[in-house]
Chains A and B, each alone.
Chain A
Amino acid sequence: MGNGSSAIPRGSRIDGAVRIYMPKTRLIARLDIKGPNLIKGIHLEGLRVMGDPQVYAQKYYAEGVDEIIYIDSVASLYGRNSLHDIISRAVRKVFIPITVGGGIRSVQDAAEMLRAGADKVAINTAAVHRPELITEIARRFGSQCVTLSIQAKANGRGGWEVYTENGREHSGLDVVEWAKRTQDLGAGEILLTSVDREGTQKGFDLDLLRAVGGVLNIPLVASGGMGTLQHMEEAIVATKTDAVAIASVLHYGKHSLSDIRAYALARGLNVREL
Chain B
Amino acid sequence: MRPNVVVVDYGLGNLLSVTMGLEHCGAEVELTSEPRKVEKADRLVLPGVGAFKDGMEGLRSRGLVEATKAFCDTGRPFLGICLGMQMMFGVGEEFGLHEGLNLLPGKVIPVPATGVDGTPHKVPHLGWSEISSPIGSTRIWGGTVLDGVAPKSAVYFVHSYFASVGNNSHLLAEADYDGHKLAAVVNKDNLYGCQFHPEKSGTVGLKMLDNFINRL
Contacts and interface: CB of A to CB of B under 8 A. Distances in A.
Contact of B116 (A15, A64, A115, A116): A15
Given A20-B117, A114-B14, A273-B154, A144 B124 contact: yes
A217 interface: yes
Interface in B123-167: 123-130, 152, 154, 156-158, 160
A210 B90 CA distance: 43
Given A23-B126, A66-B128, A92-B24, A272 B206 contact: no
B116 A26 contact: no
B127 A242 contact: yes
Interface in A221-259: 242-243
Given A21-B175, A141-B49, 12 more contacts: A20-B116, A22-B177, A23-B128, A23-B129, A92-B20, A95-B200, A115-B16, A117-B17, A143-B124, A144-B49, A219-B122, A272-B128
Contact of A117 (B20, B50, B127, B203): B20
B14 A117 contact: yes
A23 B125 contact: yes
Nearest to A90: B20
A236 B179 CA distance: 21
B200 A21 contact: no
Instruction: Classify chain B's interface size.
Output: 35 or more
Interface string A185-223: 000110000000000000000000000000011110000
22 contacts: A20-B116, A21-B177, A23-B126, A23-B127, A23-B177, A26-B128, A61-B202, A91-B17, A93-B24, A95-B202, A95-B203, A95-B206, A96-B156, A97-B156, A116-B16, A117-B16, A119-B14, A144-B158, A218-B122, A242-B122, A242-B127, A272-B128
Contact of B157 (A20, A23, A64, A119): A23
A18 B176 CA distance: 11
A174 B115 CA distance: 31
Contacts of A117: 14, 16-17, 20
A34 interface: no
Nearest to B25: A95
Given A20-B117, A21-B129, A144-B124, A119 B177 contact: no
